[in-house]
Copies of this chain bind each other. A is one copy, B any other.
Amino acid sequence: MRGGVSVARVKLSDVARDAGVSAATVSRAIAQPELLSPDTLARVRASAQRLGYLPDGAARALASGRSLTIGAIVPTLDSAIFARALQAMQATLAQSGYLLLVASHEGSPAAETQAVRALLGRGVDGLMLVGAERAPDTTALLKTSGLPVVLTWCGDGHFTAITIDNALAGRLAAEHLIRLGHRRIGMIAGHLQFNDRQRARLAGARAALAEAGLALPDTLVVEQALTLAGGRAGCAMLLDRDDRPTALIGGIDVFAIGCLEEAHARGMAVPDHLSVVGIDNLDMSAHVSPGLTTVHVPTGRIGNLAAQTLIAMIAHQPVDRERVLPVELVVRRSSQRLA
């Protein structure tokens, strides 16, 4: 039964009766106004307006097979990165009349599968996911659904994707430090399980070091939860080593900022005694002190493009298999030539 306390809602047929037309005409007034005579259209609109008619989304979705809803599944909303991407997505989608249905999996592939199932069940018209690594179940679900899917940050060459070159980001960070004469470089990475972005960034940094004849031994890599506290803890571990690194790379800016704080707490001057480089270029990163050297990632852009791509796919327009957005080193004060 129709739920709740609400007054009986005005429906299509009410508008039709009021305007003296058929239901079909009212429906067209909403979805394809160009098919109606200006006269009829005006009449229907007036009735709809006056009665306060609001189309029933469920009924529309059922009848048309389109829900005007896009799903997004991110690790968590509570992260500057994903929050920004989602805000950008949502804003772009809203312009086309789409709404965003969000879910988070907090690092659990099983939860992601669950979320995909839930969103699929809700009849979303498209789906945005983060990263390319996931449970085979999830991929199967996605494939058989035939739904437009856009991967973000990392692609798998299979699904459409809006990505950045995470390995390059890691590489740029490392090369910058190498260029400054650093030889013992440590890295704080997010837990690598189910996080291909962090793996790629780490791999990129490692490759750059290798090419310079340097190593990034496992002892100089620490995995941490993706929080400021994680960054501080990771930094502490690295600085407590006998062969203390002279420079640190944060797999995300949040880590790098954590390093800044930890170094500060220890009375260790950055960049004089320690160089720090992040990846992401958060708003905050320009404002901490010293300003954080980092690799800029066009986070908002990823969200915009994911939305646009999804809309294009829904409209059966051709889209690029994978769109790789540029990343770029942003040098600020937190890194300097090794004394």
Contact = CB atoms under 8 A, between A and B. Distances in A.
Contact of A101 (B3, B100, B118, B120): B100
Given A66-B3, A145-B6, A261-B289, A87 B77 contact: yes
Contacts of A76: 87
Contacts of A283: 227-229
A223 B114 CA distance: 44
A257 B287 contact: yes
| 10 closest A-B pairs by CB | A6-B146, A58-B61, A83-B83, A78-B87, A77-B87, A57-B122, A2-B65, A58-B62, A3-B65, A5-B146
A258 interface: yes
A265 interface: yes
Nearest to A111: B94
A304 to B, nearest CB: 13
Contacts of A123: 56-58
Oligomer copy total: 2
22 contacts: A3-B125, A4-B147, A4-B148, A7-B144, A54-B117, A55-B121, A57-B61, A58-B58, A58-B67, A58-B123, A69-B122, A77-B83, A78-B80, A78-B83, A90-B102, A94-B115, A94-B118, A99-B119, A232-B287, A257-B284, A261-B287, A265-B289
Contacts of A146: 4-7
Interface string A66-82: 11110000001111101
Nearest to A1: B65
Contacts of A52: 144
A167 interface: no
A120 B206 CA distance: 51
Contacts of A79: 83
A86 interface: yes
Given A80-B83, A97-B118, 19 more contacts: A3-B314, A6-B147, A57-B61, A57-B122, A57-B123, A58-B58, A58-B61, A58-B62, A58-B123, A69-B122, A77-B83, A77-B84, A78-B80, A99-B101, A228-B283, A229-B283, A232-B287, A257-B284, A284-B284
A103 interface: yes
Contacts of A68: 122
A314 B76 CA distance: 26
A227 B283 CA distance: 9
B284 A54 contact: no
A314 B62 CA distance: 23
A288 interface: yes
A307 to B, nearest CB: 13
A258 B79 CA distance: 19
Interface in A33-77: 52, 54-59, 61-62, 64-69, 76-77
